[in-house]
Structure 1
Amino acid sequence: MTLVDVSSISAGLFITGAIFIMLFFGLLSFGVLKMFELKYRAGTFSFVGAVVSGVVFGIILKTWYV
């Protein structure tokens, strides 16, 4: 196993990634929870929100950091 140099990652990219990762997986897990509670509408909205946040994250990465 080797060490990975992360010194070239900017603070803005790190914060943006951390926020979107928490948002995406939070919405995804909330959607699964609501589906188990048989609240399909709230679960579907959470899944759609996770997909939308993933797309927005991709657009932001492509626009600002690539």
Structure 2
Amino acid sequence: MHYLVNLARNRQAAGAVLVNRKYCEPHAWDAVPAAERLRAGGVHTLVLELEGADVGGQERTRLQAFLESL
């Protein structure tokens, strides 16, 4: 987890998007602590859960709002 925070800082990232596949429990378990560490490190973070390969309207809206907040 420290690697992600350091990487975001070194690259001067404005934010991070963590994409989870729906019903993929290992990724879901990792997303929570990763998002918490990134946020604690000062990196704006969005956790986006996708069901299939296509991005729907709700996901687009959430991503657009996240980008506008940066």
TM-score category of the 2 structures, normalised to the smaller one = 0.3 to 0.5
User: TM-score by structure 1 length?
Assistant: 0.38
User: TM-score by structure 2 length?
Assistant: 0.36
Greater strand percent: which structure?
2
Larger RCO of the pair (alpha carbons < 8 Å, separation 6+): 2
